[in-house]
């Protein structure tokens, strides 16, 4: 661990009321957790890519590996829609059509979420930022906190045809387990293997909405990827492999990016 990273770790640990062990330079957590790599301080991680590249699946894998939360703006919006909150009512039509919700609304959602103490060691942003405005807002927010590590960005790339299959074949359980009727079907069609609940297709996973979301991605989010590519703490990952392989490539990339950006 580099000196600057150690300072950040100490400051993060102090805020969390914990100690940094001088031998391992890891944050001493109590109780001990079964994380794959608890000595690694991930900091803010952006998972970028088109709809269906696997950002949600990979964010969950990273969550398990590092013990940091996934912050998915799509999930937060869907939770508000299903609860019928004011935010959900304002967003529902846009989300159903695959159109972007306003920057102010999602920025505020992210600001609120990042205030939660579970984001102290880092977090994985999934589906945000999706416009250059959101990216600039995020950069300003993060650079205002001297205890936050610089953001690192991973862009997952999968070709168009493959994405179409992944999106239109996707089925989800109420608890958020993700299946695919082509590549990862449940044992009984339409039923979750784990809890027996009925699987549903998101309204925005139809082919017509997919085409719309891809157009939005090309116009609004592709420039965000270029923005982070130019910033340098960026790697592109081929998402057309097994989930485990992609996770392994992302975790290796994160280590490289942290080593090069935090000296």
Q: Which of 49, 127, 150, 186 binds ligand AMP (CB under 6 A)?
A: 127
Q: Under the criterion CB under 6 A, does residue 54 sit at the interface with ligand AMP?
A: no
Mask for 187-206, x = binds ligand AMP (CB under 6 A): -----------------x--
Q: Under the criterion CB under 6 A, does residue 106 sit at the interface with ligand AMP?
A: yes
Mask for 134-163, x = binds ligand AMP (CB under 6 A): x-----------------------------
| CB closest to ligand AMP, residue no | 74
* C-beta of 57 vs 73, nearer to ligand AMP: 73
Q: Under the criterion CB under 6 A, does residue 49 sit at the interface with ligand AMP?
A: no
Q: Which of 43, 44, 49, 98 binds ligand AMP (CB under 6 A)?
A: 98
Q: Is 80:88 a contact under the CB 8 Å cutoff?
A: yes
> Among residues 78, 120, 213, 233, which one is catalytic?
213
How many residues does the structure list for the chain?
A: 263
Query: Exposure string (b/e) for 132-160, b if CB count within 10 Å is 16 or more?
Result: ebbbebbbeeeeeeeebbbbbbbbbebee
Q: Under the criterion CB under 6 A, does residue 73 sit at the interface with ligand AMP?
A: yes
Window of 72-80, 114-122, 137-145, 162-170 that interacts with ligand AMP by CB under 6 A: 72-80
Q: Under the criterion CB under 6 A, does residue 95 sit at the interface with ligand AMP?
A: yes
Q: Under the criterion CB under 6 A, does residue 101 sit at the interface with ligand AMP?
A: yes
Question: What proportions of the chain, in percent to the nearest 5, are helix, strand and coil?
Answer: 50, 15, 35
Whether the CA torsion 161, 54, 221, 226 is positive or negative: it is negative
DSSP string spanning 212-258? HHHHHIIIIIHHHHHHHHHHS-EEEEE-SS-HHHHHHHHHHHHHHHH
Known catalytic membership, residue 213 = yes
CA-CA distance, 3 to 50, in Å (whole number)? Answer: 36
How is residue 239 written in tokens? 């998402």
Q: Which of 50, 46, 47, 48 is nearest to 162 (CA)?
A: 50
Q: Which of 59, 100, 237, 254 binds ligand AMP (CB under 6 A)?
A: 100
Known catalytic membership, residue 55 = yes
CA-CA distance, 223 to 152, in Å (whole number)? Answer: 16
Q: Which of 51, 54, 69, 239 binds ligand AMP (CB under 6 A)?
A: 51
Q: Under the criterion CB under 6 A, does residue 74 sit at the interface with ligand AMP?
A: yes
CB of 176 to ligand AMP, least distance (A): 11
User: How many CB atoms neighbour CB 8 within 10 A?
Assistant: 22
What residues make contact with ligand AMP under the rule CB under 6 A? 51, 73-74, 77, 94-95, 98-101, 106, 127-128, 130, 134, 204, 213
> What residues are annotated to the active site?
55, 130, 170, 202, 213
């Amino acid at each position: 661990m580099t000196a600057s990273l150690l300072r950040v770790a100490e400051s993060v640990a102090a805020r969390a009321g914990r100690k940094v062990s001088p031998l391992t330079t890891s944050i001493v957590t109590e109780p001990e957790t079964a994380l794959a790599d608890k000595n690694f301080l991930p900091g803010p991680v952006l998972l970028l890519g088109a709809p269906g590249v696997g950002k949600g699946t990979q964010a969950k894998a990273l969550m398990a590996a590092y013990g940091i939360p996934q912050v998915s703006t799509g999930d937060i919006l869907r939770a508000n829609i299903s609860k019928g909150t004011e935010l959900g009512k304002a967003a529902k039509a846009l989300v159903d059509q695959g159109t972007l919700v306003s920057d102010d609304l999602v920025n505020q959602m992210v600001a609120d979420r990042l205030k939660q103490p579970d984001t102290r060691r880092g977090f994985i942003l999934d589906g945000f930022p999706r416009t250059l405005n959101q990216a600039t807002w995020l950069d300003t927010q993060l650079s205002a906190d001297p205890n936050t590590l610089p953001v690192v960005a991973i862009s997952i790339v999968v070709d168009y045809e493959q994405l179409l299959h992944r999106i239109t074949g996707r089925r989800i359980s109420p608890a958020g387990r993700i299946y695919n009727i082509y590549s990862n079907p449940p044992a009984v069609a339409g039923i979750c293997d784990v809890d027996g609940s009925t699987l549903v297709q998101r309204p925005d996973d139809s082919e017509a909405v997919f085409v719309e979301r891809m157009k939005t991605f090309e116009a609004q989010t592709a420039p965000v990827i270029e923005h982070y590519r130019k910033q340098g703490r960026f790697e592109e990952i081929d998402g057309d492999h097994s989930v485990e392989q992609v996770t392994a490539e992302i975790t290796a990339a994160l280590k490289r990016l942290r080593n090069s950006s935090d000296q």
